[in-house]
Structure 1
Amino acid sequence: MDDIVKQALAKWPNVPNCYGWLGLDARGHWYLRDDQAQAAGPFPQSKGSLLQHEKLIEFIARNFEPDGQGQWFFQNGPQRVYVELEATPWVWRIQADFSVVSHTGSGAAVQDCLVDAQGRVYLTTAQGVGLVHTLDVPLVAEAVEAGRWLPQAVRAEDLPGRYGFVMSPSSRWAAQAQAPTKAPSVSGPHP
């Protein structure tokens, strides 16, 4: 986490969290989702505006992490901006030597290779599970042919539970906000 972010957290510790405003698509692109994009539907049905400012993208990448409930966020100064995911919290790019780099630029060592019914390829690492960028699937095939990775079948809908991540923190937040609250119990003698 950037030092300036740590300083902002110390200075303003109680800034409310932000939900629904940032999305990560299956190609590792970030999308800003204003009120209009959010009203048009959930991510990725309504993506919003593609972020293209290189320094902003780098800032998000350096400050992207999960909370204790598997919800991924970008720490924007004192505020957590929770991220809507199209597929997984990581999008992997495969290099010519079969090394793996995330959409945030961090390297990772592959533990397992997974393939779902639609032919999408996922790699698990110590950082978690991520979708392989569609342009890199031919490199995955080369790695499999070379005996480096052994694909295992997986159901895409099982990935969040199996690997502990939340696809839509805004949906979870909205559901919790609408949940009825239980009236406090009163103990002691009643009149």
Structure 2
Amino acid sequence: MDDIVRQAIAKWPHVPDCYGWLGLDARGRWYMRDDRVQAAGPFPQARGALLEHAALIAFITRNYEADARGCWFFQNGPQRVYVELEAAPFVWRVAEGFAVSAHTGAPARVQCCLTDEAGRVYLQTDIGFGLVHTLDMALVGDAVEQGLWLPQAVAAAELPARFGYVRSPWAQAASTGAGQA
């Protein structure tokens, strides 16, 4: 977390959380979801505006983490901006030699490989759980053929509970009566 963010939290400790305004798609892209988009439906059916500003994306990824409930958020100064996840908290990129990194740029070491009923591939790593980017499926196939990764079948619906994450903090907050900023 950036020092400036820590300082803002200390200065303004009681800023309300923000739900529904930020989404992460299955390709590791961030979307800003204003009131109009939120009214149109849940993420990812109503995506919003694709964020393309490199400095903003870098700030979000440096300050991206999970709370104790498994809800992922971007700490924007003193305010937590909870993230709607299309698939999982991380989107993995696989490079030649099978090096794995998150959509945030963080390197990761693979602990297990899973496939769901739709053929999507997920990795549990030392830094967390995520979906493999679709462009990297050929490399995943090579890793499997070489016996480096041994895919285990899993139902997609079981993944959030099994790996401790919440795909829609907004829906969870609404169901528990928490305020939405």
CA RMSD of aligned residues (A): 0.7
Cα offsets for 1:75-109 (capped at 9, x unmatched): 00000000000000000000101010000000000
The residue that corresponds to 2:51 in the other structure is 51
The residue that corresponds to 2:23 in the other structure is 23
Give 3-state SS (helix, strand or coil) of 1:166's partner: coil
How far the C-alpha of 1:156 sits from its partner, in A, is: 0.6
Cα offsets for 1:13-38 (capped at 9, x unmatched): 00000000000000000000000000
Counterparts of 1:175 and 1:159, CA distance in 2: 20
Amino acid corresponding to residue 85 of structure 1 in structure 2 = L
Aligned counterparts, 1:58-137, within 5 A: 58-137=58-137
Q: How many residues align?
A: 178
How far the C-alpha of 1:128 sits from its partner, in A, is: 1.8
Give 3-state SS (helix, strand or coil) of 2:130's partner: strand
Counterparts of 2:127 and 2:157, CA distance in 1: 20
Counterparts of 2:166 and 2:151, CA distance in 1: 24
Cα offsets for 1:93-137 (capped at 9, x unmatched): 001010100000000000001011110000001222100000001
Identity %: 65
| Structure number, greater radius of gyration | 1
Give 3-state SS (helix, strand or coil) of 1:148's partner: coil
Give 3-state SS (helix, strand or coil) of 1:158's partner: helix
Q: Which runs of 5+ in 2 are unaligned?
A: none
Give 3-state SS (helix, strand or coil) of 2:177's partner: helix
Cα offsets for 1:42-73 (capped at 9, x unmatched): 00000000000000000000000000000000
Which aligned runs of 4 or more in structure 1 are off by greater than 4 angstroms?
none
Counterparts of 2:22 and 2:115, CA distance in 1: 27
How far the C-alpha of 1:174 sits from its partner, in A, is: 0.8
Give 3-state SS (helix, strand or coil) of 1:105's partner: coil
